[in-house]
Amino acid sequence: MRLDHFTALLLAGLAGSWLLTALVRHLAIRASLLDHPNERSSHAVPTPRGGGLAIVASFLLLIAALQWIEPLPTPMLASVVGSAVLVAWVGWLDDRHTLAARWRFLAHVIAAAWSVWLMHGIPAVPAFGHHFDLGWLGTGLAVAYLVWMTNLFNFMDGIDGIASIEAVIVAAGGAVCWWLATGTLLWALPLLLAAAVGGFLVLNYPPAKIFMGDVGSGFIGMVLGVLSLWTAQEATQVYWAWFILIGCFMVDATTTLLRRVRRGERFYEAHRSHAYQYASRRHGSHKAVSLAVGAINLLWLLPLALAVATRRLDGLAGTLIAYAPLVWLAYRYKAGDRAGQAA
């Protein structure tokens, strides 16, 4: 595929996503589809939600255009589109009518299982110079990973711009790692996602004029998760690179979840005890925290991910190095410690 054609496609995706987001915002205001502040919110004024529809539509249109220019492998296309569209549809229903958690979870499991089935499981996992074939356990872990990724962006989409900034940098960084490791065209897919989210970010940047809602957060999480597993089909070390890139969200959300479960709290209920939420209250700024997360991604996580992708650093070792200061930050900002945050 010619570089100028792909560049034009990315620019069209950015512009199209921005225009679609503006349209969705207009329609959401007319339909009173607003996110009203409450005791669990981090925003102070009613804000339109459902902007993730623009991300979904833009990404699907970009994939269709790429497929016309340079056909993609059918199993991969079916895996990414099928699972992500199901998650987006359920997310949209939840944005509109609030679905029970068990139905959302069931849909996420079905979407994850569909993707893993199409990729025939996962290859042996590299760690410290060895490859470990996990068999059926690996298949189960892959499904669990995709379900967690789907909910990860939902949990972490709690202040202006943070999920959009994370998605753009992770997707673009994953594309670079994929290209360096394989050189195949498939690295274009995460870049298309970055373009679709980038257009939305224009209106989601603090102070946000629209929120993505579950339709967008779940969609992004599933697409990134599926793409990371497909990357491993070509170059197993790049799976660790993706895992490193998503470190800010993975550490905060996982630490918060484990501490809430340990305290007997209902982990699936909305709350604002994540480290990033506490940081935004403590420092009085959504923008500062969201940009700080972006800076950590670019200056700390991306270099480590690139080292892993190019086999200059072992994947598991790189992940442990990347996550160590993030775990410290999670505890420093009292992730999941509601009592400590209130003190």
Q: Give the span between the Cα atoms of 127 and 239, in whole angstroms.
A: 11
Are the C-beta atoms of residues 31 and 4 closer than 8 Å to each other? no
Could you tell me if residue 303 is inside a domain? yes
Could you tell me if residue 333 is inside a domain? yes
Q: What is the pLDDT of residues 160-217, one digit of tens each?
A: 999 999 999 999 999 999 999 998 888 999 999 999 999 999 999 999 999 999 999 9
Q: How many domains does the chain have?
A: 1
Q: What is the pLDDT of residues 272-299, one digit of tens each?
A: 899 999 999 999 999 999 999 999 999 9
> What was the pLDDT predicted at 294?
98
Single-letter amino acid, residue 108? H
176: containing domain: 3-33+44-342
Model confidence, pTM? 0.96
Lowest pLDDT segment from 46-55, 242-251, 259-268, 324-333: 259-268
**1 has a pLDDT exceeding 90:** no
Q: Give the span between the Cα atoms of 221 and 197, in whole angstroms.
A: 12
**270 has a pLDDT exceeding 80:** no
- Going from the C-alpha of 78 to that of each of 63, 85, 119, 223, the distances in angstroms are 11, 10, 10, 12
Could you tell me if residue 119 is inside a domain? yes
User: Which residue did the predictor score with more confidence, 343 or 262?
Assistant: 262
Phi and psi at residue 35, in whole multiples of 5°?
A: -95, 105
User: Which residue did the predictor score with more confidence, 262 or 267?
Assistant: 262
Q: What is the pLDDT of residues 119-169, one digit of tens each?
A: 998 899 999 988 899 899 999 999 999 999 999 999 999 999 999 999 999
Lowest pLDDT segment from 170-174, 263-267, 328-332: 263-267
Could you tell me if residue 243 is inside a domain? yes
Q: Which of 76, 72, 120 is nearest to 223 (CA)?
A: 76
Could you tell me if residue 20 is inside a domain? yes
Q: What is the pLDDT of residues 308-323, one digit of tens each?
A: 999 999 999 999 999 9
User: Which residue did the predictor score with more confidence, 147 or 340?
Assistant: 147
Q: What is the pLDDT of residues 41-73, one digit of tens each?
A: 576 688 999 999 999 999 999 999 999 988 889
Could you tell me if residue 38 is inside a domain? no
Q: Which of 35, 26, 81 is nearest to 203 (CA)?
A: 26
| DSSP-H helix ranges across the chain | 3-30, 52-69, 74-97, 101-118, 135-156, 162-182, 188-204, 213-234, 237-245, 247-262, 275-283, 286-296, 302-309, 315-332, 338-342
Rounded to the nearest 10 degrees, the angle between the axes of helix 188-204 and helix 213-234 is 160
Phi and psi at residue 129, in whole multiples of 5°?
A: 85, 0
Interstrand relation of 130-132 and 34-35 (parallel, antiparallel or unpaired): unpaired
Element holding 126 (H helix, E strand): strand 125-127
Q: What is the pLDDT of residues 71-89, one digit of tens each?
A: 889 999 999 999 999 999 9
Could you tell me if residue 153 is inside a domain? yes
Kindly indicate the confidence band of residue 35, based on its pLDDT and cuts at 50, 70 and 90. Answer: confident
Could you tell me if residue 39 is inside a domain? no
Q: Quote the mean pLDDT of the chain.
A: 93
> What was the pLDDT predicted at 136?
93
Q: Which of 334, 146, 131 is nearest to 229 (CA)?
A: 146
Single-letter amino acid, residue 231? T
Kindly indicate the confidence band of residue 39, based on its pLDDT and cuts at 50, 70 and 90. Answer: low
**Who's near 272: CB < 8 A, 6+ residues apart?**
40, 41, 42, 158, 278
**108 has a pLDDT exceeding 80:** yes
For the chain, the distance separating the N- and C-terminal CA atoms, rounded to the nearest angstrom, is 57
Are the C-beta atoms of residues 222 and 83 closer than 8 Å to each other? yes
Q: Give the span between the Cα atoms of 147 and 90, in whole angstroms.
A: 13
